[in-house]
A and B are shown apart, each in its own frame.
Chain A
Amino acid sequence: MRYVDEYRDADKARALAARIAGLCAPGRSYAFMEVCGGHTHTIYKHGIEDHLPENVTLVHGPGCPVCVIPMGRVDDALHLARQPDTIMTSFGDMMRVPGGRQSFLDAKAEGADIRMVYSPLDALRIARQNRDKRVVFMAIGFETTAPSTAVTVQRAAAEKLDNFSVFCNHVTIIPAVKAILDSPDLRLDGFLGPGHVSTVIGCRPYRFIAAEYGKPLVVAGFEPLDILQSIHLLLRQLAEGRCTVENQYARVVPWDGNPKALRALADVMELRPSFEWRGLGTIPYSALRIREAYAAHDAERVFGVPGVRVADPTSCQCGEVLKGVLKPWQCKVFGTACTPETPIGTCMVSSEGACAAYYNFGRFTRTAVREATRT
Chain B
Amino acid sequence: MTTEREEQVLRRIDRARRRKARVRDERITLAHGAGGKATHTLIEAVFLEAFDNPLLAPLEDQAVCPAGGARLAFTTDSYVVSPLFFPGGDIGDLAVNGTVNDLAMCGARPLYLSAGFILEEGFPVADLTRVAGSMARAAGAAGVRIVTGDTKVVERGKADGVYVNTAGVGVVEHGFTLGAGRAEPGDAVLVSGPVGDHGTTVMLARGELGIESDLASDTAPLAEPVAALLAACGEGVRCLRDATRGGVATVLNEIARASDVAVVLDESAVPVRDEVRGAAELLGIDPLYIACEGRMVVVVDGARAESALAALRSQPSGERAAVVGRVVAEPASLVLVKTEFGGTRILDVLIGDPLPRIC
Distance between A109 CB and nearest chain B CB, rounded to angstroms: 4
Structural contact, B336 and A369, CB atoms closer than 8 A: yes
Q: Would you call A158 an interface residue if the criterion is a C-beta within 8 Å of the partner chain's C-beta atoms?
A: no
Structural contact, A109 and B28, CB atoms closer than 8 A: yes
Within 8 A of A (CB), among B3-19: 5-6, 9-10, 12-14, 16
Q: Would you call B27 an interface residue if the criterion is a C-beta within 8 Å of the partner chain's C-beta atoms?
A: yes
Partner of A372 from B28, B29, B264, B286 at Cβ < 8 Å: B264
Structural contact, A13 and B12, CB atoms closer than 8 A: no
Partner of A47 from B208, B277, B342, B348 at Cβ < 8 Å: B342
Structural contact, A369 and B341, CB atoms closer than 8 A: no
Q: Would you call B143 an interface residue if the criterion is a C-beta within 8 Å of the partner chain's C-beta atoms?
A: no
The distance in angstroms between the C-alpha atoms of A253 and B191, with both chains bound, is 40
Structural contact, B341 and A335, CB atoms closer than 8 A: no
Contacting residues, chain B, for A85 (C-beta < 8 A)? none
Distance between A222 CB and nearest chain B CB, rounded to angstroms: 10
Q: Would you call A211 an interface residue if the criterion is a C-beta within 8 Å of the partner chain's C-beta atoms?
A: no
Given contacts A47-B344, A118-B208, contact A335 B354 (CB under 8 A): no
The distance in angstroms between the C-alpha atoms of A275 and B141, with both chains bound, is 61
Structural contact, B344 and A351, CB atoms closer than 8 A: no
Per-residue contact bits, chain A 328-343, to B (CB 8 Å; 1 contact, 0 not): 0110001110010110
The distance in angstroms between the C-alpha atoms of A4 and B16, with both chains bound, is 40
Structural contact, A92 and B346, CB atoms closer than 8 A: no
Contacting residues, chain B, for A339 (C-beta < 8 A)? 16
User: By CB atoms of chain A within 10 A, which of B12, B337, B345 has the most?
Assistant: B345
The distance in angstroms between the C-alpha atoms of A14 and B341, with both chains bound, is 9
Contacting residues, chain A, for B341 (C-beta < 8 A)? 8, 10, 13, 46-48, 51, 224
Per-residue contact bits, chain B 284-311, to A (CB 8 Å; 1 contact, 0 not): 1010000000000000000000000000
The distance in angstroms between the C-alpha atoms of A148 and B169, with both chains bound, is 54
Structural contact, B331 and A46, CB atoms closer than 8 A: no
Per-residue contact bits, chain A 352-365, to B (CB 8 Å; 1 contact, 0 not): 00000001111110
Q: Who on chain A is nearest to B338 by CB?
A: A373
The distance in angstroms between the C-alpha atoms of A360 and B17, with both chains bound, is 10
Per-residue contact bits, chain B 206-230, to A (CB 8 Å; 1 contact, 0 not): 0011000000000000000000000
Q: Who on chain A is nearest to B2 by CB?
A: A365
Within 8 A of A (CB), among B202-261: 208-209
Contacting residues, chain B, for A151 (C-beta < 8 A)? none
Q: Would you call A50 an interface residue if the criterion is a C-beta within 8 Å of the partner chain's C-beta atoms?
A: yes
Contacting residues, chain B, for A213 (C-beta < 8 A)? none
Structural contact, A372 and B336, CB atoms closer than 8 A: yes
What's the dominant secondary structure at chain A's contact region?
Answer: helix
Structural contact, B16 and A105, CB atoms closer than 8 A: no
Contacting residues, chain A, for B342 (C-beta < 8 A)? 10, 13-14, 47, 50-51
Structural contact, B340 and A8, CB atoms closer than 8 A: yes
The distance in angstroms between the C-alpha atoms of A362 and B7, with both chains bound, is 10
Partner of B339 from A14, A47, A327, A342 at Cβ < 8 Å: A47
A-B contact count (CB 8 A): 115
Q: Who on chain A is nearest to B209 by CB?
A: A118
Structural contact, B5 and A329, CB atoms closer than 8 A: yes
Q: Who on chain B is nearest to A341 by CB?
A: B24
Q: Would you call A106 an interface residue if the criterion is a C-beta within 8 Å of the partner chain's C-beta atoms?
A: yes
Q: Who on chain B is nearest to A101 by CB?
A: B26
Structural contact, A329 and B9, CB atoms closer than 8 A: yes
Structural contact, B29 and A105, CB atoms closer than 8 A: yes
Contacting residues, chain B, for A368 (C-beta < 8 A)? 330-331
The distance in angstroms between the C-alpha atoms of A44 and B135, with both chains bound, is 43
Given contacts A329-B5, A368-B330, A373-B264, contact A336 B12 (CB under 8 A): yes
User: By CB atoms of chain B within 10 A, which of A8, A14, A339, A373 has the most?
Assistant: A373
Contacting residues, chain A, for B330 (C-beta < 8 A)? 368, 371-372
Contacting residues, chain B, for A28 (C-beta < 8 A)? none
Q: Would you call B127 an interface residue if the criterion is a C-beta within 8 Å of the partner chain's C-beta atoms?
A: no
Q: Who on chain B is nearest to A328 by CB?
A: B9
Given contacts A8-B341, A336-B12, contact A372 B27 (CB under 8 A): no
Given contacts A47-B339, A49-B343, contact A335 B12 (CB under 8 A): yes
The distance in angstroms between the C-alpha atoms of A359 and B31, with both chains bound, is 21
Q: List 21 A-B contacts (CB under 8 A).
A: A1-B281, A4-B277, A10-B342, A45-B339, A45-B345, A46-B340, A46-B343, A47-B339, A47-B341, A47-B342, A51-B341, A51-B342, A105-B31, A109-B25, A109-B27, A329-B5, A329-B10, A361-B346, A369-B336, A369-B344, A373-B344
Given contacts A47-B341, A335-B13, A364-B334, 12 further A-B contacts (CB under 8 A): A45-B339, A47-B337, A47-B339, A105-B30, A109-B30, A118-B208, A334-B9, A363-B13, A368-B331, A372-B330, A373-B336, A373-B338
B residues near A, CB below 8 A? 5-6, 9-10, 12-14, 16, 24-31, 208-209, 262, 264, 274, 277-278, 281, 284, 286, 328, 330-331, 334, 336-346, 348, 351-352, 354
